[in-house]
Amino acid sequence: MKPKEGFFLIEHYPFMNTPLPYADNALEPYIDEQAMILHHDRHLQTYIDNLNTVLQSHPRLQTLSLEQLIARSERMPANVGTPVSRNAGGVYNHRFYFDSLTPETGLQPEGALAEAIDRSFGSYGAFREKFTAAAKSVFGSGYAWLVRDPYGGLKIITTANQETPMLPLHCPILNIDVWEHAYYLKHYNKRADYIDDWWNLINWANAEKRYLECKT
């Protein structure tokens, strides 16, 4: 088995686009096949290509994993750190989003994560309401996240564009992509409808694994 850093397999330059863990049409009717193809094969691939282009002329960075590149980007010169942060963030955030989804619909959190949600938000229903409000509130493009904060509690945060929750030292558990390209083909400009559909597709088993990894 390959080693892991966080939830992802450790890899470094040149980064490759990995297949979706389900068929392109597996999330229908909630997310349509064409949106998944464009999202994964075009948008994610562009971030991967751009990241590899930046790293091509910086051999010292080529041995770093995706998470290491993001964590160290703030200490790089701006002409390197900014494109590294944006494109590595784009790769990380998209992969996290795709791995947060499953064709098995209607699932809810169980086990330790369910207990943590109840402790932090009072109930699953209250968590869902607050997370939905956060996702709706993102101005322009970005993500809403469920994270474990540095003190061990759960929080809902939002990030703009391709910023990640890792730089503020949050451990991510779940995210939703609210860039328009994630939903515009099916839902047009109705982000709220997309968010409602997204709740049917959450891979709570993966979220539980992430939560347990955050605790170690």
Q: pTM of the full predicted structure?
A: 0.94
The SS3 assignment for 2 reads: coil
Alpha-carbon span 188 to 181, nearest angstrom: 10
Omega cis (within 30) before 59: no
Q: What is the DSSP string of 11-56?
A: --SSP-PPPPSS-TTTTTTTS-HHHHHIIIIIIIHHHHHHHHHHHH
Kindly report, residue by residue over 5-42, the tens digit of the pLDDT.
444 556 899 999 999 999 999 999 999 999 999 999 99
Kindly report, residue by residue over 163-193, the tens digit of the pLDDT.
999 866 899 999 999 999 999 999 999 999 9
Domain 111-215 class, CATH top level: alpha beta
Rounded mean pLDDT, 198-215: 95
What residues contact 47, with CB distance under 8 A and at least 6 apart? 87, 90, 91, 94, 162
pLDDT beyond 80 at 204: yes
**Which residue is it, tokens 């790293």?**
55
Alpha-carbon span 81 to 25, nearest angstrom: 36
Kindly report, residue by residue over 68-121, the tens digit of the pLDDT.
999 999 999 999 999 999 999 999 999 999 999 999 998 999 999 999 999 999
Q: Specify the pLDDT at position 169.
A: 81
Q: Specify the pLDDT at position 5.
A: 44
Alpha-carbon span 82 to 77, nearest angstrom: 8
Kindly report, residue by residue over 112-153, the tens digit of the pLDDT.
999 999 999 999 999 999 999 999 999 999 999 999 998 889
